[in-house]
Structure 1
């Protein structure tokens, strides 16, 4: 199969594209990303495989988004004896056209054309090989599977030397075996068809037997359960009658404990009331005694507080006198400190003004130097601007003068010297100049150029130059013209003047640079305007009195140090006196606070003593101290009597073991209730089972079980019969597959040898691969190191995938060849291997079609014989 021409119209983003492919060789189709390179292969597949009216997703996706038009694909293909032009339009007004050019011309349309193309391709093209011989972007590193390619299998049979006589019916036999196998098994070996139905029928029959047997067993289980429930109900009824006396005895004991509990509760209420009354009378008596004691204690406390308050008042007076003395000392120290601070400030201001005056003097001198340097630099710059000989002009003059000197020297070396010796007095005319030459004298000239010597009335001698001299003469003239032009550009007349002007320019530039450096040093990081502003500020801050600066800075600093020392001493003394005054103030505050607190406590204690005496008088007026004591004793004895009654009842209650009685009552009640509930449950279950048995009796479950067992025997017989045929087909297919795999192993070696032949120029002479029976590469060996295919780098996988397809293309027969399509591969390959892969492309392209689609055509520069097609050209 060969692709000669491909035309796309309104296909995805492609409005129109037509590409013609040579019959053999490498074709590199290059274009940018999303320019529709991969769409070309997709379009060819849709053309060959999908009908024009197809609604598959793959067909819908290629409709252009920017035009209301149908996608059209046209291809010119030759395969076997056929050559045809095939066109389809999808989506809008679908159409199919086929023109067969060879072996005889035919024209077909519609489904008839589609079916004819499919028939021609099925007859002449191994479609598995056509799809396998593609290196696509999405699967460029996946191991290629060529095991299903019949064309390659035939070629490998021949290459392996398989010369056994074939009848031609072997593929048909395998197909019939596969067809027979397919009656019973799927492609993955699962039962299907008649064998699956037999298995399912046997399983269903066994399930039906199991279901019927379970139904019969269910009836037996209900009968057994009915007998058990009858016996259980009788036993539970007898047990419930036996539990009655135990429950009555436990209830009687519980009633006795309840009566005793009521008596104990009443006794506790009486004891609690007696305890409350006794506590109240005892508390009243204790409060009376406490009040009497409190009055005595407060009288003693008041006497002590009176003495302490008088002592605190005396201490307060002494502290007030000391604080007043300290405050006077602080005021004096503050006055001395203020005078010292004023003296120090005055001395500091005087020193600052003297320093500012000195800085203004230095700044003024600095600005004067800056102005002088500015004027000098301006003068130098003005003089420098008047020099017309720049560095470029001087370089031009030097080059022109050197060229003129070289050409003059060369001209002098090739020019002839002509000497004239007069035999008699004669007169010569040379270039318009007359020369008188007496007899016996000589005169010579150098023939630097063509010239003419005339002896009037006698002869005319012409001097001409040779080609070399003429060429040098032309160079000399051109050099002189260039020198003249350079001197004119510099507004000077000679080279010496130019050199003098250039020397002066260099001197002025050096001086300008020196002045600029001096100005930079004088200004530093500051601008001249900033310096002038600072000077004006310093001058404005100077005092108007000229005699203020009678002292110098050293004397001012001495005065400032003395004033600072006096201020520091005064400040230290002031701080000392303030701390002393603060201590005296704190002492005064403490003594004042203490005196006030003691006075308040004395007053409060006096008021509380009077209040206590009033409360005692009121209490005694109500009940005397003796009556209160008698009542407290009587209430205490009543409390003790009530508590003894409560203890007696508690002992009697504990002797009856109330917890055990309660537990026994609970157990007896629970047992009776449990037996009653169990008896009722047994009777209910017995009634339900009786109803179920009456229903089961009408269903005929035993007859159904017999019918299901008969059906199972029929299903088992059919399962065994079909199973024998299925296992026989499976055995026959496995034997044929084993023999086919052994055959494949024979032709793995020719394929491996071809892959070695193509791969060793790329990977080196130690390159080897291990090939499986499915013709997939399992590992690669280089320099004795074997690496599994899946562990190789992306670049190596990509290269091996292309070489595997090239090996298949090289082995198949000429009539079975299909184009090898490489879609934007070798992106992981280094430049050295790219060049080697290019040589392999050339080798394979010499015998078939190789179509390369890429956005990086420079990857394939190593393919020397490639035919290149630019999609944007």
Structure 2
């Protein structure tokens, strides 16, 4: 297949575009990102694979955004014996048109055109090869599956040569045999996993279902037999359980009554315990009242003691605050004196720094003046060099051309002299003798090349050289014309002067570079204007000349200022610390004063509350109430002991346990009765169903069906095993035959890869044509472990190898979409050489947004979009 022309209109972001591709060789389609390069390949796929009337999401996606128009694709393609133009319009006013120009003209439209193209491609294009020879920017660089490529198989068969066991052509009888065997195999097994499928799986399912039906009916009969044997025993056990349930109900009621009588006696004990608990609470309340009265007296005494201690601390704090204020005032006066001294020192430092900067600026101004003067001199030199270069166009290319022409002219003249006859003309009288229109004054010799005319009064002689001499003369004349044109172009009189002129230009260029480097060093990254501006700014900032004052050096003044800063900071810190001490003391004085006021008020309140409580209940009354409560509690405890003695002979826990055991026995018997009732019902139901249904006849019929299904399964299994044995044998034989294909493919792959990876490169290629390892300089590395760039290069080379191996009539375009993005400049040049070498008979289409990657590909057709 060859793609000759592709035209798109209103396809995604492409308004209208037509691109023609070289039938063989490299076509580079270059354009910016989002220019629609990949969309061209998408359009070709839609054209060949999708009907124009399709409403799929892929078709809708190619319609231009915001425009209700149809997307058009037209391609001119040759495939096998056919050449045709194929047109489709998608989305809006769908249309399909096919015009076949070779081998005979046909015109079809609609579904007929689509089906006709599918028929042509099915007969003449290897779809596996067409998909594999693409290297798209969004896909993996691996070559992909090519084991089903008939075109590659035929090519490798030719390259590998016949084997002793080859009896048939795989593309002929053996191909049909393998297809038939594969079809038969797939009747019984899945192609990938080899699991039972289709007829075999259905037969197994039918046999299993029939056997399960037999087992189910046997189980129903066994259930009926078991029910007949179990029912009498279940009936007897049910009657016995019913009698036991009646006796257990009576016993559980009697034991519950005895437990109720014992619980009434226990309630009397509980009431006595409750009264004893209430008396114990009264004792605790009386004890709490006595304790609270003593605690209130102790809290009042503690408040009075704390007031005395806080007053003493308050007096000490007032004395400390007064002392801190005195020290702060003294430190503040010292700080004021230091500030005055520091101000004078800072003024002296500013004056010293200004004088020092003025000296530095004057030195910088002098340096700038010197740099500007030197830069001006270098600028003059640069102008002279630039003028010399502009007036001398001679380069090394001209020298090379002059040397070649001189050498070829000398050689051509020698060949002419060697083969041409020599003619001598000597005037013998007074009349003029002309040779090619020029007068001859003495004896003249010339070589007889071309056509030479000798004229004298009354005679005209034409001397013609031989045909081969004429060609040599024309060649010599052409070389001399080229030499004359080169001399004029270089502005010299002879060819041997061109080298000197080129040397003069090179010397001027070298001088220009050295002058520019010297000027860059002088300017130190700046410019003359910037240096002049800096000089003017520094001059303007210089102070007016003043009488020189004797000043201390800047470091000495700086040290004095630093020392004064330190002393001032120390004095200010002392002031701050003393003031903080006074503030802290004042704050504590304020807190203690407020605390003393609150403590006095609290003490007054506690004293008043204590007097009020004593007025209500004296200390003696509280102690008397405590004694009374203790006596009542003792009497309640005695009543509890008396009630417990009366309840000891009843054994309430034992009665409760016995009642619980009786209830548990009743519940267990009731559960047995319910279980036996359900079991009896189930057994009766099974027997009733067995009497009403004809299960023996059903079982016989099910067994007959199962036997028939098993016989059918055995028959199909036997055919399936035979198909599998034949299929695996053919596949094994075909795989062994294909293993010899790897050698020619590997050789071609290594030949193409040598310019990129080196002559020592070797590859291990599997039977499915995937490259497993690369060996370079004796080091073997798995392909998966190579860098992204190396894998991409190898993927491209593998596709080119396939394209070169297959027959030209079976070939398909190699499509490369923005590849070699990870390739370094050196390998880009090597890959260009590989592409050029592979461009002989293959059609290679390159889509790129970086044309420089493919600039070195020889004789490439470049199309800008």
TM-score computed with the length of structure 2 as normaliser: 0.62
Question: In the alignment, is residue 212 of structure 1 matched against residue 214 of structure 2?
Answer: no
Q: How does 1:165-244 map to 2 (within 5 A)?
A: 165-166=167-168, 168-188=172-192, 189-220=194-225, 222-223=227-228, 226-240=231-245, 243=248
1:198 deviates by: 1.2
Q: What is the distance in 1 between the residues matched to 2:379 and 2:720?
A: 105
Question: Which residue of 2 is the match for residue 103 of structure 1?
Answer: 103
The Cα of 1:82 is off from its aligned counterpart by 2.5
Rate the CA distance shift 1:838–1:520 in 2: closer, same or farther, 3 A.
farther
Deviation at residue 196 of structure 1 after TM alignment? 2.6
Contact 1:144 1:804 in 2 (8 A): no
Deviations 1:338-375 (A, max 9, x none): 9x999x89x989x979x99x9999999x99x9xxxxxx
1:27 and 2:27 matched: yes
Is the Cα–Cα contact under 8 Å of residues 143 and 797 in structure 1 kept in the other structure?
no
Is residue 660 of structure 2 the alignment partner of residue 678 of structure 1? no
Asked whether the equivalents of residues 133 and 143 of structure 2 are also in contact (C-alpha less than 8 Å), the reply is: no
Residues 655 and 857 from structure 1, CA distance in 2 versus in 1: closer, same or farther, beyond 3 angstroms? same
Verify: 1:824 aligned to 2:848, yes or no. Answer: no
Unaligned runs of 5+ in 2: 356-361, 363-372, 388-491, 494-532, 548-570
Q: Deviations over 1:357-403 (max 9, x none)?
A: x9999999x99x9xxxxxxx9xxxxxxxxxxx999799989999xx9
**CA–CA separation in structure 1 for the residues paired with 2:759 and 2:151:** 29
In the alignment, the residues of structure 2 paired with residue 398 and residue 114 of structure 1 have an alpha-carbon distance, to the nearest angstrom, of 72
Do the aligned residues in 1 keep the contact of 2:141 with 2:796 (CA within 8 Å)?
no
1: distance between equivalents of 2:382 and 2:787?
Answer: 65
1:661 maps to what in 2?
655
CA distance in 2: counterparts of 1:33 and 1:63, whole angstroms: 19
**1:32-47 residue pairs with structure 2 within 5 A?**
32-47=32-47
Residues 283 and 633 in structure 2, CA contact (< 8 A), matched pair in contact too = no
- In 2, the alpha carbon distance for the partners of 1:687 and 1:108 equals 80
Counterpart selection for 1:704 from 693, 698, 707: 698
| 1:781 partnered with 2:775 | yes
Instruction: Tell me, in whole angstroms, the C-alpha distance in 1 between the residues paired with 2:770 and 2:615.
Output: 118
- 1:241 Cα deviation (Å)? 5.4
Q: Secondary structure of the equivalent of 1:185?
A: coil
Is 1:144–1:805's contact at 8 Å kept on the other side of the alignment? no
Name 2:838's counterpart in structure 1.
844
- Match of 1:68, SS state, is coil
Q: In the alignment, what sits opposite 2:122?
A: 122
1:697 is paired with a residue whose SS is helix
Q: Which residue of 2 aligns with 1:519?
A: 543
For 2:617 and 2:706, the matched residues in 1 are separated by 119
**What SS does the corresponding residue of 1:128 show, helix, strand or coil?**
helix
Q: Call closer, same or farther: CA 1:657–1:861 in 2, change over 3 Å.
A: same
Alignment of 1:797-808 (within 5 A): 797-808=791-802
CA distance in 1, matches of 2:136, 2:771: 18
The whole-number CA distance in structure 2 between the counterparts of 1:766 and 1:829 is 20
d(CA) in 2 for partners of 1:150, 1:398: 70
What residue is the counterpart of 1:737 in the other structure?
Answer: 731
CA contact (8 A) 2:128 2:145 kept: no
How has the CA–CA distance of structure 1 residues 521 and 260 changed in structure 2, closer, same or farther, with 3 Å as cutoff?
A: farther
Deviations 1:505-562 (A, max 9, x none): xxxx999999756418989xxxxxxxxxxxxxxxxxxxxxxxxxxxxxxxxxxxxxxx
With over 3 angstroms needed to count, the CA separation of the structure-2 counterparts of 1:23 and 1:677, relative to structure 1, is closer
- Structure 1 CA distance for aligned equivalents of residues 383 and 633 of structure 2: 144
SS state at 2:699 partner: helix
Deviations 1:303-353 (A, max 9, x none): x9xxx9xxx9xxx9xx9xxx9xx99xx9xxx99x99x999x89x989x979
Q: 1:721 aligns with which of 715, 730, 733?
A: 715
Q: Is the 8 A contact 1:160 1:749 kept in 2?
A: yes
Q: Which residue of 2 aligns with 1:134?
A: 134
1:428-467 deviation per Cα after TM superposition (whole angstroms, max 9, x unaligned): xxxxxxxxxxxxxxxxxxxxxxxxxxxxxxxxxxxxxxx9
Aligned to 1:11: 11
SS at match of 2:780: strand
Does the 8 A contact of 1:140 with 1:825 survive in 2?
no
Please give the per-residue CA displacement for 1:707-737, whole angstroms capped at 9, x wherever unaligned.
Answer: 2111100100000011111111111111000
Show the 5 A alignment for 1:138-153: 138-153=138-153
| Distance change (3 Å), C-alpha of 1:26 and 1:272 | closer
1:605-624 to 2 correspondences below 5 Å: none
CA shift, 1:652, in A, is: 4.2
Alpha carbons of 1:520 and 1:602: their partners in 2 closer, same or farther (altered >3 Å)? Answer: same
1:373-388 to structure 2, matched below 5 A, reads none
- Distance between the aligned counterparts of 2:659 and 2:216, measured in 1? 52
The Cα of 1:636 is off from its aligned counterpart by: 9.8
Query: Taking structure 1 as reference, are residues 785 and 111 closer, same or farther at Cα in structure 2, changes over 3 Å only?
Result: same
Equivalent positions of 1:414-493 (< 5 A) are none
Higher mean alpha-carbon deviation, 137-146 vs 246-255, is at 246-255
Larger Rg over CA atoms: 1
CA contact (8 A) 1:144 1:801 kept: no
Instruction: Tell me by how many angstroms 1:776 deviates.
Output: 1.1
The 10-residue stretch of structure 1 (691-700 or 153-162) with the greater mean CA deviation from structure 2 = 691-700
| Contact 1:836 1:862 (8 Å CA) reproduced | no
Superimposed CA distance per residue, residues 779-816 of structure 1 (whole angstroms, 9 cap, x where no aligned partner) = 21222222222222211111111111111111112221
Alpha-carbon distance change, 99 to 654 in structure 1, aligned in 2, over 3 angstroms: same
**Whole-angstrom CA distance in 2 between matches of 1:84 and 1:759:** 36
Q: Indicate the RMSD between aligned Cα atoms, in angstroms.
A: 5.9
Q: CA deviation at 1:845?
A: 0.2
Secondary structure class of the residue paired with 2:10: strand
Which of the numbers 790, 793, 816 marks the counterpart of 1:796? 790
Check 1:764–1:225 CA distance in 2 against 1; reply closer, same or farther (3 A cut).
farther
Residue number in structure 2 paired with 1:866: 860
CA distance in 2, matches of 1:603, 1:789: 101
Alignment of 1:477-626 (within 5 A): 516=540, 518-519=542-543
- The answer to whether the 8 Å contact 1:51/1:114 transfers is yes
CA distance in 2 between partners of 1:52 and 1:269 (Å)? 100
Q: State the Cα distance separating 1:13 from its structure 2 match.
A: 1.6
Question: What CA distance in whole angstroms lies between the structure 1 residues aligned with 2:612 and 2:148?
Answer: 121
1:758 paired to 2:749: no
Could you tell me which residue of structure 2 aligns to residue 59 of structure 1? 59
Give CA deviations for 1:468-525 in whole Å, capped at 9, x if unaligned: 9xxxxxxxxxxxxxxxxxxxxxxxxxxxxxxxxxxxxxxxx999999756418989xx
Please report how far the alpha carbon of residue 180 of structure 1 lies from its aligned counterpart in structure 2 after TM superposition.
1.6
Shift of residue 864, structure 1, vs aligned partner: 2.2
C-alpha contact 1:47 1:73 (8 A) present in aligned 2: yes
Q: Which residue of 2 aligns with 1:532?
A: none
Alignment partners' CA distance in 2, 1:129 and 1:710: 55
Taking structure 1 as reference, are residues 691 and 152 closer, same or farther at Cα in structure 2, changes over 3 Å only?
A: closer
Give SS of 1:64's match: coil
Deviates more, 1:239-248 or 1:78-87: 239-248
Task: Tell me by how many angstroms 1:758 deviates.
Answer: 0.9
TM-score by length of 1: 0.61
Going from structure 1 to structure 2, the CA distance change for 1:233 and 1:17 (only over 3 Å counts) comes to: same
Question: Does residue 853 of the first structure (1) align with residue 847 of the second (2)?
Answer: yes
Structure 2 CA distance, aligned partners of 1:116 and 1:236?
Answer: 88
Identify the residue that residue 813 of structure 1 maps to in structure 2.
807
Q: 1:75 to 1:689 in 2, by over 3 A?
A: same
TM-aligned CA distance change 1:254 to 1:54, over 3 Å:
closer
Alignment of 1:236-385 (within 5 A): 236-240=241-245, 243=248, 247=252, 250=255, 254=259, 257-258=262-263, 260-261=265-266, 264=269
Q: Determine the C-alpha separation between the residues in 2 that align with 1:398 and 1:201.
A: 101
Q: Is the 8 A contact 2:143 2:799 kept in 1?
A: no
Alignment partner for residue 764 of structure 2, among 770, 773, 777? 770
Per-residue deviation, 1:689: 4.2
